[in-house]
Structure 1
Amino acid sequence: MNDGPEWFAPKALGFGSGRPIAWQGWAVLAAYLAILAGLAHAYAEHLAIFLPLTAFATFLLLLIAAKTTRGGWKWRGWPRRRD
């Protein structure tokens, strides 16, 4: 179990985070979207600069989401049948 803050819900199926469940998660997501909008505006004509900065911002979002997801990131698959 994750002892840190819980800002994101786990996905019901699959691997990763679901939607934000705390204001901090919504703030992180809003900041990410604002950063992407700013990068798109500032570097619209410079794809060689825009793509690495976007990849780095996405990496930071995923890192924060992984550290603050309730129960951590793990595979959540279909329930097994018990015969």
Structure 2
Amino acid sequence: MVTPRERYWFPAKRFGWGWGFPTCWQGWVVFAAYFVVFMLGVIFLRGRERAVESIAFVSVITLALLLICWKKGEPPRWRWGGDCS
């Protein structure tokens, strides 16, 4: 039985290393959730008053986003434009 080709939530960037904006709804949900949680952290942690907690919070949610991109995104590698395949 042939399995359908896996669809990446986050495509590789055309230039450089990493991922671009999402290409499907699942990726947009992850991206929106990251933004909402980030903004809630900004509101409730108040960076100047609780700097260490704010840095730790942003680090943890960013690491979670990167892990999701790594798992559900196109394999990262350096790209210099042209054909991205």
**1:67 paired to 2:68:** no
Q: Which runs of 5+ in 1 are unaligned?
A: none
**Equivalent residue for 2:17?**
15
Provide TM-score, normalisation by structure 1. 0.81
Q: Which runs of 5+ in 2 are unaligned?
A: none
RMSD in angstroms over aligned alpha carbons? 1.7
Aligned residues: 76
In 2: Cα distance, 1:49 partner to 1:13 partner? 34
**Is the Cα contact below 8 Å between 1:4 and 1:68 reproduced in 2?**
no
**Is the Cα contact below 8 Å between 2:14 and 2:81 reproduced in 1?**
no
Deviation beyond 4 Å, 4+ runs, structure 1: none
Can you list the C-alpha shifts for 1:11-66, whole angstroms capped at 9, x where unaligned?
01111101100101000000000111111111102111111010110011011112
Which amino acid counterpart does residue 57 of structure 1 have in structure 2?
A: I
- What is the deviation of 1:4? 5.4
In 1: Cα distance, 2:7 partner to 2:60 partner? 23
In 1: Cα distance, 2:20 partner to 2:28 partner? 12
